[in-house]
Amino acid sequence: MNSFSELAFAYDEPPFSADFRSDIEDFIVAEDLGFELCGEGEHLCLQIEKRGENTHWVAENIARQLGIKVLDVSYCGKKDRYAITSQWFSAYLPKREVEPALLHKLGSLNPDGTCASTKLLNHSRHKKKLRRGEHEGNDFRIRLRNISAKARLDIDPRLQNIRDLGVPNYFGEQRFGREGNNLQLFDDMFVSKKAKLRRNQKSMLLSAARSHLFNLVLSARVRDGSWRSVETGPLWGRGELSGTEIEKHYETNALLAWQQWRDALEHVGLFQERRQLVLLPRSLQWQWAAEDILDVAFSLSSGEFATVVLREIVSLNNVQHLT
d(CA 272, CA 268): 12
User: Helices 202-224 and 245-254 meet at what angle, rounded to 10?
Assistant: 110
Contact 180, 174 (CB under 8 A): no
Q: Are 300 and 137 in contact (CB under 8 A)?
A: yes
CA distance 181 to 195: 14
Q: Are 87 and 48 in contact (CB under 8 A)?
A: yes
Provide the b/e sequence for 58-92 (b: ≥16 CB within 10 Å): bbebbbebbeeeeebbbbbbbbbbbbbbbbbbbbb
Active site residue 80: yes
Distance between CA atoms of 17 and 320, rounded to whole angstroms?
Answer: 15
Is there a contact between 184 and 219 (Cβ–Cβ < 8 Å)? no
Catalytic, out of 80, 112, 139, 292: 80
In Å, what is the CA distance from 76 to each residue of 33, 151, 154, 275? 8, 37, 37, 19
Neighbour count for residue 277 (Cβ, 10 Å): 22
Query: Which sequence positions are flagged as catalytic?
Result: 80
